[in-house]
A and B are shown apart, each in its own frame.
Chain A
Amino acid sequence: MRKTTKGALAVGAGVALLLGGAGTMAAWQLTSTAATGTVSSGEFNLATTAGATWKWGTATSATGCTATTTDFPVGAKIVPGDCVIYTQPITVTASGNRLVATLSVSAIANSGVWSGLTATSATTMDANPAVTGAGSPFTITPGTGTVNATGKVVTTIVFDPATTSSTGQNSTATLNGVTLVLKQTAPTT
């Protein structure tokens, strides 16, 4: 074989070897970003709202009371046959697609209550599709929307009209009312 032909064959083989190697080698790359978007938290609140009222009533029994529209002035004193009605509005605000909450009411002990004086509280929630239950505990389930559920705590204080002698004269009773607790519970699914 002629000399020039030998050299050309040797170079061709060397190039082939380099292409088949497993050492350092550049590789095509592609970078992409998976965006999760924004995440929002829900809302959860219980509050007493403005508009609380105190009204005189007339006792119909030891515990019964017929309300009037007459305001009960601060510091007014009650006598047998009187009753007083205290109404406090409340609002429950809740949002969260899987949120489930309960609203429970518990009484707080009173002090200084004299014989013939009774104080009772009742909590009611206004009609709302996200609120169920006839009384404590209520269940709040906002679903996909935001709940602004309203209700009220009504405290009725009755001085038994059949009270005799001087029972309760110049006495003061402290009515501590109730505690409302709004609490998230575990979702069912």
Chain B
Amino acid sequence: MPPRLRPALVACVAVVLLLVGSTTAYAAWARSATVAAGAVTGGSFSGTVTWSTAPNLAGMHPGETRVGVVQVARTASTNGRWVYAVGAPTAAPSGTVTAASTALAGQLVVTVYTGATFTGTTCAGTPATLGVASPVQALGAVVRHCVAVRLLPTAPSTVQGGSVAVTVPITLENRSTN
């Protein structure tokens, strides 16, 4: 072969070797992203039960009824809807327990009514069902119930001078916000 042809053939062989090179080192594109939900905070729940009209129970005589209005409300800045249930009212001797107080407690009938108002000594509505949750109330709702306290007409004279505390238990429970 004429010598002037040799250099061109050598160059072609070298290029082929480079193309067939190693496959073990494989560079790879990669991207990442974070999806964070952030922070969530639990609310709070509290409420109040008060007498919007406190019944005057001093000096009751047999057969007499006295009335008042109990009010149930949620505390401002708390969260969520709510329900409440009226428990069985109680009458128990207050202060120093005496025979008269004990006797008096057994001669009182306390009734919670569905109505929030009264006329004279008569509560509006009908006796409320005790222990059953109310319909769901909105966050800022205020509910009231008339409460009648009656000293039985058959109360004996031994109850005279007795002192009793009347309690209407009401339980509040939260519900979801929506």
Interface residues of A (CB under 8 A from B): 27, 44-48, 56-59, 68, 70, 75-82, 84, 86, 88, 90, 101, 108, 114, 117, 119, 121, 153, 155, 157, 159, 161, 166, 168-186
Contact = CB atoms under 8 A, between A and B. Distances in A.
B89 to A, nearest CB: 26
Contacts of A88: 35
B174 A175 contact: no
Main secondary structure of the interface of A (DSSP, over half): strand
Contacts of A27: 4
Given A121-B35, A178-B34, A80 B176 contact: yes
The 5 A-B residue pairs with the shortest CB-CB distance in the complex, in nearest-first order: A81-B176, A77-B43, A79-B80, A177-B36, A168-B42
B77 to A, nearest CB: 10
Interface string B21-60: 0000010111111111111111111000000000000000
Contacts of B39: 172-175
A170 B42 contact: yes
B178 interface: yes
B176 A82 contact: yes
Contacts of A79: 42-43, 45, 79-80, 174-177
Interface of B: 4, 26, 28-45, 79-80, 174-178
A80 B178 CA distance: 11
Given A58-B176, A79-B177, A82-B80, A181 B40 contact: no
Contacts of B30: 181-184
A40 B4 CA distance: 39
A47 B31 CA distance: 9
Nearest to B23: A186
Contacts of A185: 28
A157 B42 CA distance: 12
Contacts of B29: 44, 101, 183-184
Contacts of A171: 41-42
Given A76-B177, A81-B177, A172-B41, 20 more contacts: A57-B178, A77-B42, A78-B177, A79-B42, A79-B174, A81-B175, A86-B37, A90-B33, A117-B42, A155-B37, A169-B42, A170-B43, A173-B40, A174-B39, A175-B37, A175-B40, A177-B34, A177-B37, A183-B30, A186-B28
